Amino acid sequence: MTERSRPAGPAHDIVDIIRAKRDGGRLSDAEIDWTISAYTDGRVADEQVSALLMAIFLRGMSPGELSRWTEAMLASGERIDLSGLSRPTVDKHSTGGVGDKVSLVLAPLVAACGAAVPQLSGRGLGHTGGTLDKLEAIPGFRSALTVDEILDQLERVGCVICAAGPGLAPADRKLYALRDVTATVESIPLIAASIMSKKIAEGTSSLVLDVKVGSGAFMSERRGAAELANTMVALGRDHGLDVVALLTAMDVPLGKTAGNALEVAEAIEVLAGGGPEDLLAVTLALAREMLDLAGIDADPAAALQDGSALACWREMVVAQGGDPDASLPRARVVETVDADRSGFVTRLDARAVGVAAWRLGAGRARKEDSTSATAGVVCLAKPGDEVRAGEPVLELHGDDPALFDRARAALADAFTLSDVPEPLTDVVYERIGAPREAPRD
């Protein structure tokens, strides 16, 4: 790692900085540097930074302010140096959704094609699942790795999915916790800075963003999702990172499962050359973008069919202490939600499914809460499918029978049945970033 790169600079008056932003002013580079450094070091109080975050939420930030804010967050900690790897580096970040197990497939898939994929991931909060929670359903899997272990695994295996260390962008950790309790999470500049400071700190040279749009996503409207994507693409370029973003659908759960062990099993199905069409489509679209940025001319679909992606998955699991042959944990209680009439499924609300999985124990309300590996929801029918009256549409998995009533309540209006099917829409809406280049030699 490299150490933080900018000194704290001379002291400023935090009250003047709050007032300036409250009144719509532009913060100077020196003011931003000092604010982030002073808050990270505990020299500025939570209530003062809370006021500044609300001023930013209401007033926004100019592109220059946002770029400097992100740089100051980077400078608050260390950066991983991946320049010594023999493979080109590329990563992917998703803004989160229901059933989004894409990272589990994507990292070994792109690694099997020749790239190094350093996936520093997080845990779930609320109705969206966390990649680390899913992987820890595998017996023995270890998500806390040292930098040396990360570098060694990237060189030997080509991919790693683990937790970000406390030394990477520590300012973000403090700011995110504060935003969570001050109703300032939804600020696009603050979201963009949070995501990009961590991704730049991890040292990858290129990045593909999966920005989810729909009821199960953080951004429910396409316009806001596009604004966030454009903001993050610009931030990446400001910091020397090649970035492309895809806007992808999240009105319906991705794949058929929402829940930790359930999603691991489905990811393995895709790695073995099968899996649901929507999950496969999003995964391959992201993989092609990642390989293009890495300058690798390879067909990711072929890596799924010839077994090389699955082999890379197994290597990654073993390298992180897991047993790829161990049985995944299963729920003690399984119940169904049945169709009350015959018809075609024309709507399946992703948020409702995510909330039900959360209430069954798959998610957490607070970061310190634990999760259940077995809890979740299986979508037995999705839009376009025909069901008969009395047939199951959803399957609820959990270990605590007392949690099922609240999960069922979340699903009371989760799906719609109609006499005729509705045409299915694409799962990849839009690409944001530089035009694709021809494959490099």
Element (H, E) at 95: none
Q: 287 with 109: CB under 8 angstroms? A: yes
3-state secondary structure of 57: helix
**Please, what is the angle between helix 260-271 and helix 102-112, to 10°?**
30
Residue 6 pLDDT level (bands cut at 50, 70, 90): very low
In the structure, what pLDDT confidence band is assigned to residue 173 with cuts at 50, 70 and 90? Answer: confident
Q: Where are the alpha helices (DSSP H) in 272-345?
A: 277-294, 300-305, 308-319
Rounded Cα–Cα distance for residues 142 and 320 (Å): 5
172 is known as an active-site residue: yes
| Contact by Cβ (8 Å): 82, 89 | yes
State how far the Cα of 138 lies from the Cα of 43, in Å rounded to an integer: 42
Q: Are 91-165+202-326+428-433 and 333-418 in the same CATH fold? A: no
Name the active-site residue from 92, 179, 199, 364.
179
Catalytic residue of the set 93, 101, 174, 288: 93
Cα separation values, 414 from 198, 224, 276, 346, 380, Å: 35, 24, 20, 11, 13
Residue 418, SS3 per DSSP? strand
Dump pLDDT digits (tens) for 174-218: 998 888 789 898 899 999 999 999 999 999 999 999 999 999 988
Active-site residue flag, 299: no
Q: Which parts of 113-253 fold into alpha helices (H)?
A: 131-135, 147-156, 170-180, 188-201, 222-238
Residue 397 designated active-site = no
Catalytic residue among 33, 91, 100, 172: 172
Give the pLDDT confidence score for residue 9 in this predicted structure: 54
pTM of the model: 0.92
Strand partners, 343: 387
Query: If you search the block for the tokens 């520590």, which residue do you land on?
Result: 170
Whole-angstrom Cα distance, residue 60 to residue 26?
A: 10
- 295 three-state secondary structure: coil
CA distances to 6, 69, 203, 401 from 2, rounded to whole Å, are 12, 19, 10, 50
| Per annotation, catalytic residue among 37, 143, 194, 206 | 194
Report whether CATH 3.90.1170.30 matches the domain 333-418: yes
Q: Is the pLDDT of residue 438 over 60?
A: no
Average pLDDT of 42-54? 95
Number of Cβ within a 10 Å radius of residue 431: 16
Q: Token pair for residue 435?
A: 């035009």
Residues 6+ apart with CB under 8 A from 312: 108, 109, 111, 112, 157, 158, 159
Question: Is 93 an annotated catalytic residue?
Answer: yes
Q: Where are the domains of the chain?
A: 91-165+202-326+428-433, 333-418
Give per-residue pLDDT as tens, 301-337.
999 999 999 999 999 999 999 999 999 999 999 999 9
CA distance 120 to 122: 7
Distance CA 321, CA 317 (A): 6
198 counts as catalytic? yes
User: Residues, the chain, total?
Assistant: 441
Closest by alpha carbon to 170, among 54, 95, 72, 238? Answer: 72
* pLDDT average, residue stretch 42-63: 96
213 forms bridges with which residues in the sheet? 219, 249
Candidates 4, 63, 434; CA nearest to 201 is: 4
- The CATH fold of domain 91-165+202-326+428-433: Pyrimidine Nucleoside Phosphorylase; Chain A, domain 2 (3.40.1030)
**Which residue do the tokens 């740089």 mark?**
71
The catalytic position among 4, 198, 256, 382 is 198
Residue 5 has a pLDDT of 42
Residues 6+ apart with CB under 8 A from 415: 345, 347, 348, 349, 381, 393, 394
